[in-house]
Amino acid sequence: MASVLVVEDDQFVRSALIRHLTDASHTVRSVGTALEALREVAHFRFDVVILDLGLPDLDGSEALKMLRGITDVPVIIATARDDETEIVRLLNAGADDYLTKPFSVEHLSARMAAVLRRARSGAGDTPPSTVLRVGGLTVDPLRRQAELDGVRLDLTRREFDLLAFLAGRPGVVVPRRELLAEVWQQSYGDDQTIDVHLSWLRRKLGETAARPRYLHTLRGVGVKLEPPVMEPPAMAPPGSPGAEPPR
């Protein structure tokens, strides 16, 4: 059973989805515009959003971007558009799955179950009871919390999944294809998806790509997370207090 938000302006399709989801014991709320959807996710907690692209006020792709700015709830795109380039673009923009209309209720149920299973299981195969520590970084997969030097990190679901997956393999270079498969649950995609999330994650870890501390990118190979290298203390100049006298 899940809490579902249906964003669909076609009243016939909307009613059919509500009926099917309710019959399957899900709790359902529904709206017909993107702005109403944004208000809903700002005030209520949902387990999954089913989002149509052909909305009357905003295109669904713009609505997806706005949703991702305020929530990391799983989003399944449901639309008549079947262009592969568009599908890849939306998946890279933060959609968790994509269904092309018309689709059966059984197909929707299976996709919903898979998305909810991924969202609830967390990242990769990290044991959920194990607290991961890498330098001053602590990641708790069970509570889905991360701290840096004792300060709680405010991470989105995808940022946490990425961090937890890498923290479970400290010092190991993880290929980008493996990150797409394990963290994004995608068999295809481009590097921009990973780069954008790495950039956001670096910002929250207080580092940059030019001056990395924990996250290191090996061009053409992959990404690794390891504790920062401690810099040796600077030598005092000759003649200053604390400097060794000449021998």
Type of residue found at 89: R
pLDDT in tens, 68-104: 877 888 899 988 877 778 887 888 778 888 888 888 8
For residue 63, what pLDDT band results from cuts at 50, 70 and 90?
A: confident
Please, what's the b/e burial string for 53-91 (b: 16 or more CB within 10 A of its CB; e: otherwise)? Answer: bebeebebbebbeebbeebbbbbbbbbeeeeeeebbebb
The two structure tokens encoding residue 233 = 């203390």
Please give the order of strands across the beta sheet that includes 132-134: 132-134, 137-140, 145-148, 151-152
Q: Which amino acid is present at 243? A: A
Average pLDDT over residues 151-155: 92
For 195, residues 6+ apart whose C-beta sits below 8 A from its C-beta are none
Quote the mean pLDDT of the chain: 83
Mean pLDDT score, 233-247: 54
- Match domain 3-121 to its CATH number in 2.60.200.20, 3.40.920.10, 3.30.110.40, 3.40.50.2300: 3.40.50.2300
User: Does 125 have pLDDT greater than 60?
Assistant: no
Residues 78, 60: Cα–Cα separation, whole Å: 10
By DSSP bridging, strand 75-79 and strand 48-51 are: parallel
Query: What are the Cα distances from residue 185, in Å, to 40, 85, 97, 190?
Result: 27, 18, 10, 13
Domain limits of the chain? Answer: 3-121, 132-225
Q: Which fold has domain 132-225?
A: Arc Repressor Mutant, subunit A (1.10.10)
